[in-house]
């Protein structure tokens, strides 16, 4: 046996997964409430005790961890044009596993600076202008940022002509300079910035959030949980060293506060007469819908789809549905259990969350006419040919209607412009192992891939 312990310090639960990498199998899993605001080791010890009762006391060769505790990795981005450098900065941040708590475009105002202070970011990403392009905006914003606390790391990844001057302006601050996230019009260069974000997370954020208290147990790697999940999804999709992956996929994680969507796919136009508009989409893309969640953001689901849709899916009257929604807002730890009414409501909420979040993540296509005749314009990622959907999150794991809920990630006739998948098989992360497998993949990628293919619950396409 060669045992590895994998830890996910979540905002609510600390989740453990024990793996025997020689046997390529999961030995056991456990979870306990995260205690980051007192001592992170308390919640970790409880989870370890639970795991030990399940599988016995084991010796571990190594221990790796990720975290989304205490709000995760909170980032603010500031760019020039919202649809261009602003979007590039946002994509770079999300791809690094951050939670974007503020997106600013054009010149920052004093009110913007006050809002940034209130959002309490862990890192700020300052971009703007292609190389050789506009420098006025990024220099103005650098000057405005001198009013921020000097211990907030600022990454400068904009017009290289202005980078050094921005660095001089912010000389009292902790500043890092990276290559431009959009060096040319329509070209995305996010990887160097994402690498720097992860380095800062390891060096600074882990300590700031108190996660270093568990450092005696940890062997090597600590990363934001969404970054670990994205790594797992890429591995599952692409395969590794002769071990086949499952192909292009869309993954959905419906949580209590947010819904995370991942797509590992090319996403380019399907037909020759389609013109692509906007920034090129990253092959491995992550988005976060901060207003869509099963408890803390339950009102966001209702606002997005309307209470009538919730009633239609649940079979509950409007008055009763509103009453239950209000109750769940106040009691965020409430689960359906044997309550059929709450179970029906959760089904409706989860179905609506997936429908709305995947629609926002996917691109759209519009018909237009030019001198050459009929033409189509695509914005965002084309996911129509993606044939695999991976789902996780408590509302999908603890229900018998998982596949029915997951089907809401597929295209429907009432959204003809959406480029959501047309049909797909469903894979269910019933044991909540994706973050753990992302951690494991940094050292044992083939083992992580084989465990995912074995442990994920497969359901062939049906609709």
pLDDT in tens, 214-226: 656 666 667 888 8
Provide the percentage of residues in the chain whose pLDDT is more than 90: 56
- pLDDT tens sequence across 244-298: 999 999 999 998 888 999 999 998 888 888 888 877 888 999 988 888 888 888 9
Can you say how many angstroms the Cα of residue 392 is from the centroid of all Cα atoms in its chain? 12
Can you say how many angstroms the Cα of residue 371 is from the centroid of all Cα atoms in its chain? 42
Residues 251 and 391: beta-carbon distance below 8 Å: yes
Instruction: Please give the full DSSP string across 371-391, using - where no structure is assigned.
Output: TTEEEEEEES---TT--EEEE
Backbone angles phi, psi at 66, to 5 degrees: -135, 165
Q: Mean pLDDT for the chain? A: 88
pTM confidence score: 0.84
Instruction: Say what the pLDDT of residue 218 is.
Output: 66
Instruction: Say what the pLDDT of residue 206 is.
Output: 67
Among 43, 102, 101, 91, CA closest to 67: 43
The DSSP symbol for 282 reads P
Instruction: Say what the pLDDT of residue 221 is.
Output: 60
Among 64, 374, 421, CA closest to 214: 64
Residues paired with 260 in a beta bridge = 253, 288
The domains of the chain, with CATH numbers, are 3-70+209-220 (3.30.420.40), 74-204 (3.40.50.360), 235-459 (no CATH)
User: What's the token pair of residue 62?
Assistant: 């190594």
Q: How many residues does the chain have?
A: 463
- pLDDT tens sequence across 335-349: 888 889 999 999 999
Reduced to 3 states (helix: H, G, I; strand: E, B; else coil), residue 442 is coil
Instruction: Say what the pLDDT of residue 440 is.
Output: 95
Residues 6 or more apart whose CB falls under 8 angstroms from that of 136 comprise none
Residues 228 and 438: beta-carbon distance below 8 Å: yes
What whole-number distance in Å separates Cα of residue 5 and Cα of residue 48? 10
- pLDDT tens sequence across 358-408: 999 999 998 888 777 788 998 889 999 999 999 998 888 888 899 999 999
Instruction: Say what the pLDDT of residue 219 is.
Output: 64
Name the helix (H) or strand (E) containing 397: helix 394-397
Among 90, 199, 102, 107, CA closest to 144: 107
- pLDDT tens sequence across 97-131: 778 889 998 899 999 999 999 999 989 999 988 89
- pLDDT tens sequence across 173-191: 999 999 999 898 878 888 8
Residues 120 and 110: beta-carbon distance below 8 Å: no
Q: Is pLDDT larger for residue 198 or for residue 36?
A: 198
Instruction: Say what the pLDDT of residue 214 is.
Output: 62
Residues 390 and 252: beta-carbon distance below 8 Å: yes
What whole-number distance in Å separates Cα of residue 237 and Cα of residue 231? 10
Residues 347 and 381: beta-carbon distance below 8 Å: no
In SS3 terms, 203-237 reads as HHHHHHCCHHHHCCCCCCCEEEHHHHHHHHHHHHH
């Amino acid at each position: 046996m060669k045992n590895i312990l994998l830890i996910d310090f979540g905002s609510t639960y600390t989740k453990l997964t024990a793996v025997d990498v020689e046997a390529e199998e999961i030995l056991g899993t456990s979870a306990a409430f995260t205690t980051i605001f007192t001592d992170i080791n308390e919640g970790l010890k409880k989870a370890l005790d639970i795991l030990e009762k399940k599988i016995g006391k084991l010796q571990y060769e190594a221990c790796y961890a990720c975290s989304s505790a205490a709000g995760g990795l909170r980032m603010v981005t500031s760019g020039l044009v919202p649809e261009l450098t602003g979007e590039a900065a946002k994509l770079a941040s999300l791809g690094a596993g951050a939670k974007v708590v503020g997106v600013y475009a054009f010149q920052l105002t004093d009110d913007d600076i006050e809002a940034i202070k209130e959002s309490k970011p862990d890192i700020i990403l300052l971009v703007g202008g292609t190389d050789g392009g506009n420098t006025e905006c990024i220099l103005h914003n650098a000057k405005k940022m001198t009013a921020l606390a000097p211990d907030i790391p600022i990454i400068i990844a904009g017009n290289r002509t202005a980078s050094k001057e921005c660095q001089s302006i912010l000389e009292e601050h902790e500043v890092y300079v990276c290559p431009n996230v959009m060096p040319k019009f329509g070209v995305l260069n996010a990887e160097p910035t994402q690498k720097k974000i992860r380095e800062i997370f390891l060096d600074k954020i882990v300590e700031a959030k108190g996660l270093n208290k568990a450092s005696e147990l940890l062997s090597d790697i600590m990363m934001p949980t969404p970054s670990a999940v994205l790594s797992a999804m890429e591995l599952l999709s692409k395969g590794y060293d002769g071990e086949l992956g499952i192909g292009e996929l869309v993954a959905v994680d419906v949580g209590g506060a947010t819904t995370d969507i991942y797509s590992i796919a090319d996403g380019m136009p399907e037909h020759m007469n389609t013109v692509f508009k906007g920034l090129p989409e990253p092959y491995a893309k992550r988005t976060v819908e901060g207003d869509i969640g099963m408890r803390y953001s339950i009102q966001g689901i209702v606002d997005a789809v309307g209470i009538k849709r919730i009633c239609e899916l649940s079979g509950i009257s409007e008055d009763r549905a509103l009453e239950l929604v209000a109750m769940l807002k106040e009691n965020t730890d409430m689960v359906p259990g044997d309550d059929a009414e709450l179970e029906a409501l959760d089904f409706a909420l989860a179905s609506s969350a997936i429908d709305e979040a995947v629609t926002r993540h996917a691109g759209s296509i519009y018909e237009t006419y030019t001198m050459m005749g009929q033409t189509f314009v695509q914005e965002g990622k084309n996911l129509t040919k993606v044939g695999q959907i991976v789902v996780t999150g408590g509302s999908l794991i603890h229900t018998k209607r998982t596949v029915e809920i997951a089907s809401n990630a597929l295209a429907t006739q009432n959204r003809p412009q959406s480029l959501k998948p047309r049909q797909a098989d469903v894979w269910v992360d019933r044991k909540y192992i994706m973050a753990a497998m992302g951690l494991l993949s940094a050292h044992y990628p083939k083992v992580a891939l084989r465990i995912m293919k074995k442990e994920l619950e497969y359901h062939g396409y049906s609709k």
